[in-house]
Amino acid sequence: MKLLFTAFLLAACLGTYSQPLFWKARVNTGEYGMLNVNFTLQPNGAYLSGSSAPGAHKRIIGGLKASLAKGMFRKDGSLIELDSIVFRGNSFSGFMILNGLKYILRGTKEGKSIVADLTGRSERDIFGRFEATEVTALDKPQNYPQVWSDIKRLTEELIYNRSVLQDHEWKRFVKAMNGFSAIAKDDAEFAYGLYFHAMRLPFTHYSLQGSKDSAKHFLIPAFNKTKANIRPSLQRVNDQTFLLDVPKFNFRVADIDSLMQVIVNSDVRQLIIDLRKNTGGDMEGAMRIGQYLSDKTFYGGVMLSQQYWNTHSAPPRPEDYSKFKLMDNANYEWFKQQVRNGVDGLCLKTEPMDKTFQGRVFILTSSSTASASEPFVYTLQKENRATVIGSKTAGAVISMEYVPVSNFELTIPMLDYYTYDGKRLDKIGVEPNIACKPSDALTVALTQTK
């Protein structure tokens, strides 16, 4: 009887929704910022279900390739799905599925307006906010050809090296975006479309996301899972070997100093540094570890700006390094300030600590080893100070800046990295000395220490 009564109540709540329901929404998450998205919902038994604009995969990818597309797209080719939406009086609940993650919607309805938190299983973990208004018909949230025109102009003004805009791939990208911007249905589709078409460009760190001004206090799901393990950790795996796990280079210098002091003051003969999950961070952290690993001064390469390439056609030679500003405070905010000040380039140089580790060094890598990790890996490998074990690194070595465009944030690469011997790593990566599956890299390293 109770189940029948509940079903009756739900049917009564949904009785006014026998026809499609249109929502004009703002989806604001810690991961993607604030995006304007249109939704169409249909009655589905005792609930409502629906999605953002169907067929986004065809508009973004086009042709037969769209039928093979996976990842962010739902079965109908949309990017965002709403599932099991139900109203009970003024309360509102359901699920939102975005990029493989299922968020719980909990909120209220007042008239034609809906406001809900995006949470995990615990209501204390708030990943975003969902605000929607019921409308009679849907239209595009904004003029995407105009937004694309602004993005193109800003890229041409700020890109690290204007010569890359003469490449075939940039021209192909512009042609694709000229067409796609005219048919994009909402912010989520437009942002993902730019990301997709930019994948073949000869540089990384070029993408679009919603403005994060109002999303800074929301959690990011992937980060929330790993934040407890974000600091480096040290363990002794056998009598002669330490394993230093560095999941990110965003740590306090004091955190790594305390661990490195344990290493240099011990009797161990081997050090394994695990960077398989390290997607980068501040270069300062990588440089600090390097100071403990050799009694030599290392030049770790140079980050070059548009200012440099406006007057040069080739990367600098080793004898030119003294002309560049030293990267002695290599965090993101400092990088941005140097670019704004018109710096030609920033030189990476590590001076040895008073006491350094003299044993063998092994570095574990994967395709996730990226950004600040890669100059660290390449320099130690090139100087014959470390043996690299695993798979090729990501090839994502560039410094970008966020630039506001409409209600979006555009990331534009502003500084490009070159090694001390003149090699570019972005879109290339670092090859290991010993290639193996990243999951086997620690086992392989331990066999090398015997």
Q: Which burial class, exposed, middle or buried, applies to 98 when counting CB atoms under 10 A from its CB (0-12, 13-18, 19+)? A: buried
State how far the Cα of 213 lies from the Cα of 218, in Å rounded to an integer: 11
Q: pLDDT-derived band of residue 8, with 50, 70 and 90 as boundaries?
A: very low
pLDDT for position 14: 47
* b/e map 59-82, b = 16+ CB within 10 Å: bbbeeeebeeeeebbbeebbbbbb
Q: Residue 446 is inside which H or E element, if any?
A: helix 441-448
Q: pLDDT-derived band of residue 285, with 50, 70 and 90 as boundaries?
A: confident
State how far the Cα of 113 lies from the Cα of 99, in Å rounded to an integer: 25
Q: Residue 257 is inside which H or E element, if any?
A: helix 253-264
Q: Is 301 left (phi over 0), alpha (psi -120 to 50) or beta?
A: left
State how far the Cα of 393 lies from the Cα of 431, in Å rounded to an integer: 7
Residue 396, pLDDT above cutoff 70: yes
332-338 average pLDDT score: 74
Residue 448, pLDDT above cutoff 50: yes
234 three-class SS: strand
Q: How far is CA 110 from the centre of its chain?
A: 36
- Cβ-based neighbours of 168, under 8 Å, separated by 6 or more: none
Residue 223, pLDDT above cutoff 70: no
pLDDT for position 30: 93
What does the pLDDT look like over 106-116, one tens digit per residue?
Answer: 999 999 999 99
Backbone φ, ψ for residue 135 (5° rounding): -130, 165
- Are residues 127 and 218 in contact, defined by beta-carbon separation less than 8 angstroms? yes
398-420 average pLDDT score: 94
What does the pLDDT look like over 52-105, one tens digit per residue?
Answer: 999 999 999 986 666 666 667 888 999 999 999 999 989 989 999 998 899 999
For the record, the structure tokens of 351 come out as: 């001076």
Concatenating the DSSP letter of every residue in 113-181 gives: EEEEEEE-SSTT-EEEEEEEEEESS---SS-HHHHHHHHHHHHHHH-S-GGGGGSHHHHHHHHHHHHHT
Residue 275, pLDDT above cutoff 90: yes
Q: pLDDT-derived band of residue 231, with 50, 70 and 90 as boundaries?
A: confident
pLDDT for position 283: 83
Query: Tokens 């003024």 — which residue?
Result: 90
Residue 1, pLDDT above cutoff 80: no
pLDDT for position 298: 86
Cα dihedral sign, 361-367-373-379: positive
pLDDT for position 314: 94
CA-based nearest residue to 303, from 349, 336, 350, 346: 346
Chain mean pLDDT for the chain: 90
Cα dihedral sign, 218-119-410-187: negative
pLDDT for position 340: 79
* b/e map 429-447, b = 16+ CB within 10 Å: bbebeeeeebeebbebbbe
Q: What percentage of the chain exceeds 70 in pLDDT?
A: 91
pLDDT for position 269: 95
What does the pLDDT look like over 363-372, one tens digit per residue?
Answer: 999 999 999 9
What does the pLDDT look like over 114-164, one tens digit per residue?
Answer: 999 999 988 889 999 999 999 999 999 999 999 999 999 999 999 999 999
CA-based nearest residue to 189, from 21, 77, 83: 77
Q: pLDDT-derived band of residue 254, with 50, 70 and 90 as boundaries?
A: confident
CA-based nearest residue to 388, from 253, 267, 260, 275: 275
Residue 403, pLDDT above cutoff 50: yes
State how far the Cα of 249 lies from the Cα of 263, in Å rounded to an integer: 18
pLDDT for position 4: 42
Q: pLDDT-derived band of residue 228, with 50, 70 and 90 as boundaries?
A: very low
pLDDT for position 67: 65
pLDDT for position 19: 81
Q: pLDDT-derived band of residue 330, with 50, 70 and 90 as boundaries?
A: low
Residue 226, pLDDT above cutoff 60: no
State how far the Cα of 375 lies from the Cα of 327, in Å rounded to an integer: 13
Going from the N-terminus, what domains does the chain have, and what CATH number goes with each?
8-135 (2.40.128.120), 221-448 (3.90.226.10)
Residue 194, pLDDT above cutoff 60: yes
Distances in Å between the Cα of 410 and the Cα atoms of 175, 333, 432 are 19, 17, 33
Q: What percentage of the chain exceeds 90 in pLDDT?
A: 72
- The amino acid at residue 150 is D
Residue 222, pLDDT above cutoff 80: no
- Are residues 26 and 34 in contact, defined by beta-carbon separation less than 8 angstroms? yes
pLDDT for position 331: 61
Q: Is 100 left (phi over 0), alpha (psi -120 to 50) or beta?
A: left
What does the pLDDT look like over 12-54, one tens digit per residue?
Answer: 444 456 688 999 999 999 999 999 999 999 998 889 999 999 9
274: β partners: 245, 364
Residue 449, pLDDT above cutoff 70: yes
pLDDT for position 322: 87
State how far the Cα of 122 lies from the Cα of 157, in Å rounded to an integer: 45
For the record, the structure tokens of 146 come out as: 């105009």
Backbone φ, ψ for residue 305 (5° rounding): -105, 175
For the record, the structure tokens of 177 come out as: 């975006």
113: β partners: 110, 133
